[in-house]
């Protein structure tokens, strides 16, 4: 009887030690921060939303290129790591980062606005500054003298915007009278909302200078009203989980290094784009 009790006690002790060991192992794994995990695995999980020139997706092969693709690949190379790219969307990129599907949303065109900052942490300083502009039909006499975007906030004006994009966020906060026509776009055609103006189904389309400018360059029937003087500026930056401090600081340091080396400027030239930045002068004393 006593022998059986000793055996049972011994087995219970072993089981208890195994349970503690398993729990400790699990805790260590769950507590491992992103930067340490990347060091261990050599893999960076990155989300992107196709939007030239930042993220360019080849329609035939699905291959990704662009400013942010090249930038993160360069950082990964210095880390002896590789990037696993995941395509996301305007409606789910926050959840993709928060859930752990992605370590970073490597998208310079991601607007760092107050509501998003409640859910994500953005790299500082901002990667770029994005301006907003608008297109109208070139032969529409009503808008030849328009100098102020608020002139479009009228009951007889229909405004086309890309659902969830920069123009949508701005219009929600500022327009009270105009008719708003929201168009759901996809990665294959992010400027589809602009077609509403060309087709006469909307009077004006509002969004970032990148998408609007690209569409205006391809469609001579429209004119870009604020191309040289955007009516609103918003910072754009990469984003990570809010509690991912080590990883965030690492990315900020890496981006600053590439900036001071002139690498980011070279990438902009490679993709034939000119983006808005804070004016910076690096002077060796």
- Taking the C-alpha atoms of residue 150 and residue 178, their distance in angstroms, rounded to an integer, is 10
- Enter the pTM of the model: 0.75
For residue 75, the model assigns a pLDDT of 98
For residue 121, the model assigns a pLDDT of 97
Structurally, at CATH architecture level, domain 130-233 sits in 3-Layer(aba) Sandwich (3.40)
CATH code for residues 34-127+237-270: 3.40.190.10
For residue 284, the model assigns a pLDDT of 81
Give start-end residues of each CATH 3.40.190.10 domain in the chain: 34-127+237-270, 130-233
For residue 13, the model assigns a pLDDT of 46
pLDDT per residue, tens digit, the chain (285 aa), is 444 544 444 444 444 444 444 443 333 345 789 999 999 999 999 999 988 889 999 989 999 999 999 999 999 999 999 999 999 987 788 999 999 999 999 999 888 988 899 999 999 999 999 889 999 999 999 998 899 999 999 999 999 999 888 899 899 999 999 999 999 886 557 789 999 999 999 999 999 888 898 899 899 999 999 988 899 988 999 999 999 999 999 999 999 999 999 999 999 999 988 777 888 787 887
For residue 2, the model assigns a pLDDT of 46
């Amino acid at each position: 009887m006593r022998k059986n009790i000793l055996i049972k006690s011994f087995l219970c002790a072993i089981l208890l030690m195994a349970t503690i060991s398993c729990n400790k192992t699990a805790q260590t794994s769950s507590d491992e921060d992103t930067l340490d995990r990347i060091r261990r695995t050599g893999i960076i999980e990155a989300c992107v939303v196709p939007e030239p020139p930042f993220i360019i997706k080849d329609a035939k092969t699905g291959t990704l290129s662009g400013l942010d693709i090249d930038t993160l690949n360069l950082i990964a190379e210095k880390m002896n790591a590789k990037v696993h790219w995941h395509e996301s969307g305007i409606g789910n990129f926050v959840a993709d980062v928060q859930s752990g599907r992605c370590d970073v949303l490597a998208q310079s065109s991601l607007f760092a606005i107050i509501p998003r900052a409640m859910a994500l942490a953005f790299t500082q300083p901002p990667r770029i500054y994005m301006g907003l502009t608008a297109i109208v039909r070139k032969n529409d006499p009503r808008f030849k003298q328009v100098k102020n975007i608020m002139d479009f906030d009228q009951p007889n004006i229909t405004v086309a915007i890309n659902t969830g994009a920069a123009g949508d966020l701005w219009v929600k906060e500022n327009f009270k009278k105009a008719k708003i026509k929201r168009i759901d776009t996809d990665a294959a055609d992010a400027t589809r909302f602009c077609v509403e103006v060309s087709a006469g189904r909307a009077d004006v389309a509002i969004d970032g200078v990148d998408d609007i400018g690209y569409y205006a360059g391809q469609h001579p029937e429209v004119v870009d009203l604020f191309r040289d003087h955007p009516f609103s500026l918003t910072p754009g930056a990469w984003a990570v989980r809010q509690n991912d401090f080590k990883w965030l600081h690492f990315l900020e340091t890496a981006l600053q290094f590439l900036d001071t080396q002139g690498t980011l400027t070279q990438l902009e030239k490679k993709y034939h784009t000119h983006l808005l930045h804070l004016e910076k002068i690096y002077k060796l004393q």
